[in-house]
Structure 1
Amino acid sequence: MFPTVFSRSSLRFPRYNYALQLRRAFATPAEPQDLRDESMDKKPRKYTTPLRRSASASLPIRANPTPTRSSIQTVFTLATAERYLLSRMRGFPVLPSHSQKFHESWWIPRWGKHGKEGEVFVFANGSFVCWGLEEDEAHRFAVEVIGRIPGIEVSPLKASPGNRGIRIRGGSHRVALTTRLQGDLIILGKNPPLNELTPPAKLPAMIFPEETLFARYAFSQALSRSTALSALEVALEEYLSSMALLPHSLAKTGKPGMGRTALVKKLGELMKFRQGLNLNRENFSDVPDFYWTEPELEKYFNSVSDALDVKVRTDSVNDKITYAAEAQSVLRQLLTETSTHSMELVIIALIAVEVVIALIRDGPELWEIFTGQDHKRPDPSHAEKV
């Protein structure tokens, strides 16, 4: 039995394309042509840049293949929605009978065509991780499984997928490889004993070794979190693009070019971004409770999260949201001032109308008071008596 090694790479940077690749994909809305900044076409977006850690750390393994190491295989992650309702997957006929809930994921030990089977972890954050499946098979899983389960996707993402990746590789137990992240390789090998966690009583036949099941889960959860964050980054970039013309409108016309209702809707979208980033149960800042009693698994989770810059990217998204919130605060103040000015003009106009009406109604009396002349008509009965 061979443990497995995974290497990470980016599709936009072919020099990182090594043997076993884990790829992350997420659905992205098309960018409006009229709002596109030319400089953005020349410089890759933040979420498409290569991972920080150099690939040189994994060169000794990739450059020296041995018969005791298994071939490199693919790990691919895909996000299709903002959230999955995992309870909808229970008992659905499109899934293999051996699929089951595994902690905070839905675990499918074997899926795919005969001879090309792999393992899939589906997470509630709207993404799933495929081990040993190629990119086309991962997309087929999204269509044939996720797409056929009614109500599983909450707020599906728009089409036009983007991706970037990581790969896997393995070696024999005689080499005593330990499970770890090395450079751009995720190595699945020998695991230290766990403190409290035990595998399910009845495990189905799996593609990968049973002893690395919890390690694969930890790596998968970190990868799925990074993929969900990438989808959020894309949505936020789209949102910021939709607001990019407001400063130009203010500079040109002195008006924000957006009504109060539209601005309130945009503010709601911004609050939704911040809630999804920081307040949901599956957020991007906290280490899941699952790892509190298992430091080794937490080390696996943190190693991938650090390599994929999850914390740095989360802070960057928060900074962008803060900037957008400040810009919207300025716009709200401008709209409030404009509304206040309009109300002042209306009040002045009403006062003027009231003055005119008072002059028409009480003008003779006022004239008498100021001039002392009596403009009353003589009483006819008094005239006849005289």
Structure 2
Amino acid sequence: MLLSVFSRPLAPRLPTCRQTLALYFSKRSLATPAEPHDLADDSSSKKPRKSTTPLRRSASASLPIRTNPTPTRSSIQTVFTLCTAERYLLSRLRGAPALPPHAQKFHESWWIPRWGKDGKEGEIFVFGNGSFVCWGLEEDEAHRFGVEVIGRVPGFEVAPLKVPETEELEFVVDPTELRPAYHEKITRLQGDLIILGQAPPLNEITPPPTSTLPPTLFPPETLFARYALSQALSRSTALSALEVALDEYLSSMALLPHSLAKTGKPGMGRTALVKKLGELMKFRQGLNLNRENFSDVPDFYWTEPELEKYFISVSDALDVSIRTDSVNDKITYAAEAQSVLRQLLTEASTYPSFSFGTIFKFLFPQTSSHSMELVIIALIAVEVVIALIRDGPELWEIFTGRPVSHNERPEAHAERV
């Protein structure tokens, strides 16, 4: 199994914001069937299908290794990735009683060299993006680690997911397996199978001596390769969680155009609309602005091109870049729709409580904010004219210094008499 994913210009006679929003939604692809039950689709149907991903299409490249095992090749095992939250606070794992004593911080992850029951042990990398990668553990054991270790550390999970997201690959250990046409025995991703072969050459990183490492289940010389592959897998799984959350968000907004078309109202209050704006900003931030932003290669690989190749090979095989662009396009479209919603909120907040605008809007509910602005300008002009008629002579005397004659001010003469 590969992948289980998935200002308005001030111009006369402009249409009202409600009309604009209804028209906008009617022309875009977000418009959905009128019946709400049509929205209750399985979210998995919105994810990329296994048969369309590069990894599945290139699966034939791993068939020679699968069907013709060498004497030094291990059995085919599972690399299982589980995403349970938006992010983890890795610092809280330090000293956690549920962790084995040999667990340790390893660059941007926590590394557990051995975990599980006798005969079912595996290696685990826990990353800050809310995912952990299990080498050699089956799915049920990976879920058990999430419950017995991750779930028992207070405050470790930030924004836990309702349904965890998963990825699954397979790997073998074979230090003698040759890479076709290159006659290399290095660790690599071939088709849809990871081959843990010989250690890749490193530039600036000095691997720790084997004697200082805790007992491991897999060759210690491929530790950094497993880390790079695991980080790419964890990023893909975290992206899957974001894709599902965004699809749920778009579904929650899908009936908005129908409500506007039928009632002239968005069907939700001001507070709910503001919350929707906040959710959209959160998606954009999670995709592009956080430290784990799905777009850039981590700094760790800048000086290690061989490890970067591992990271990029898995990322490309799982369409991380393409999926990131797709999510960005959805967010951009949703942001365009939300700009119309912001215009609607501006219209709703134009009339302060207990003001002439409130009374006028109550008496004439179909009046747009633009018409309301023109009425207010006209009232201000009338008030200025009245003030000039009433106080004009006094202002003339103040600015010119010339006294006004009795003929000019009969009321003033009458006052002196």
1:185 paired with 2:189, answer no
**Counterpart for residue 167 of structure 1:** 170
| Greater shift in the superposed pair: 243-252 or 342-351 | 342-351
**Counterpart for residue 232 of structure 1:** 242
| Greater shift in the superposed pair: 304-313 or 87-96 | 87-96
Three-state SS of the structure 2 residue aligned to 1:122 is: strand
Three-state SS of the structure 2 residue aligned to 1:244 is: coil
Q: How many Å separate the matches in 2 of 1:120 and 1:182?
A: 22
Aligned partners of 1:82 and 1:155 also within 8 Å: yes
Q: How many Å separate the matches in 2 of 1:52 and 1:38?
A: 29
1:66 paired with 2:70, answer yes
**Counterpart for residue 209 of structure 1:** 219
1:102 paired with 2:102, answer no
Aligned partners of 1:48 and 1:164 also within 8 Å: no
Change (3 A) 1:109 1:36: farther
**How big is the shift at 1:269?**
0.8
Equivalent of residue 298 in structure 2, options 283, 288, 293: 288
Aligned partners of 2:165 and 2:240 also within 8 Å: no
Aligned partners of 2:175 and 2:198 also within 8 Å: no
- Post-superposition CA distance 1:186-233 (Å, at most 9, x none): 111022320111233520110000110000000000000000110111
- Post-superposition CA distance 1:73-113 (Å, at most 9, x none): 11111111111111111122211111100000000000000
Q: How many Å separate the matches in 2 of 1:261 and 1:42?
A: 27
**How big is the shift at 1:10?**
4.2
2:95 partner letter: G
**Counterpart for residue 28 of structure 2:** none
- Post-superposition CA distance 1:142-179 (Å, at most 9, x none): 00100111111111111x34544211123243756321
Aligned partners of 2:200 and 2:225 also within 8 Å: no
Equivalent of residue 2 in structure 2, options 9, 24, 39: 9
Q: How many Å separate the matches in 1 of 2:48 and 2:36?
A: 19
Q: Which 4+ stretches in 1 moved above 6 angstroms?
A: 341-344
**Counterpart for residue 346 of structure 1:** 358
| Greater shift in the superposed pair: 283-292 or 254-263 | 254-263
Equivalent of residue 310 in structure 1, options 310, 317, 320: 320
Change (3 A) 1:290 1:36: farther
Q: How many Å separate the matches in 2 of 1:303 and 1:169?
A: 17
Q: How many Å separate the matches in 2 of 1:36 and 1:78?
A: 30
| Greater shift in the superposed pair: 79-88 or 292-301 | 79-88
**Matching of residues 121-160 of structure 1 within 5 Å:** 121-158=125-162, 160=163
TM-score (norm 1): 0.78
Query: How much is the aligned-residue C-alpha RMSD, in angstroms?
Result: 2.6
**Matching of residues 31-110 of structure 1 within 5 Å:** 35=36, 37=38, 40-41=41-42, 44-50=45-51, 51-53=53-55, 54=57, 55-110=59-114
Q: How many Å separate the matches in 2 of 1:148 and 1:39?
A: 33
Three-state SS of the structure 1 residue aligned to 2:174 is: coil
Aligned partners of 1:121 and 1:130 also within 8 Å: yes
Q: How many Å separate the matches in 1 of 2:99 and 2:139?
A: 19
| Greater shift in the superposed pair: 330-339 or 36-45 | 36-45
Change (3 A) 1:58 1:36: farther
**Counterpart for residue 379 of structure 1:** none
How many residues get paired? Answer: 324
Aligned partners of 2:39 and 2:251 also within 8 Å: no
Between the aligned residues of both structures, percent identity stands at 75
- Post-superposition CA distance 1:19-63 (Å, at most 9, x none): xxxxxxxxxxxxxxx855469559822245443231112122112
**Counterpart for residue 198 of structure 1:** 206
**Counterpart for residue 367 of structure 2:** none
**Counterpart for residue 254 of structure 2:** 244
Q: How many Å separate the matches in 1 of 2:232 and 2:325?
A: 17
- Post-superposition CA distance 1:329-351 (Å, at most 9, x none): 11222343355479775364799
| Greater shift in the superposed pair: 258-267 or 94-103 | 258-267
Change (3 A) 1:287 1:36: farther
Aligned partners of 1:222 and 1:302 also within 8 Å: yes
Q: How many Å separate the matches in 2 of 1:181 and 1:237?
A: 31
Aligned partners of 2:4 and 2:44 also within 8 Å: no
Structure 2 portions without partners, runs of 5+: 6-34, 179-183, 364-374, 380-417
Q: How many Å separate the matches in 1 of 2:43 and 2:148?
A: 37
Aligned partners of 1:36 and 1:241 also within 8 Å: no
Aligned partners of 1:72 and 1:167 also within 8 Å: yes
| Greater shift in the superposed pair: 123-132 or 37-46 | 37-46
Structure 1 portions without partners, runs of 5+: 1-7, 13-33, 355-386
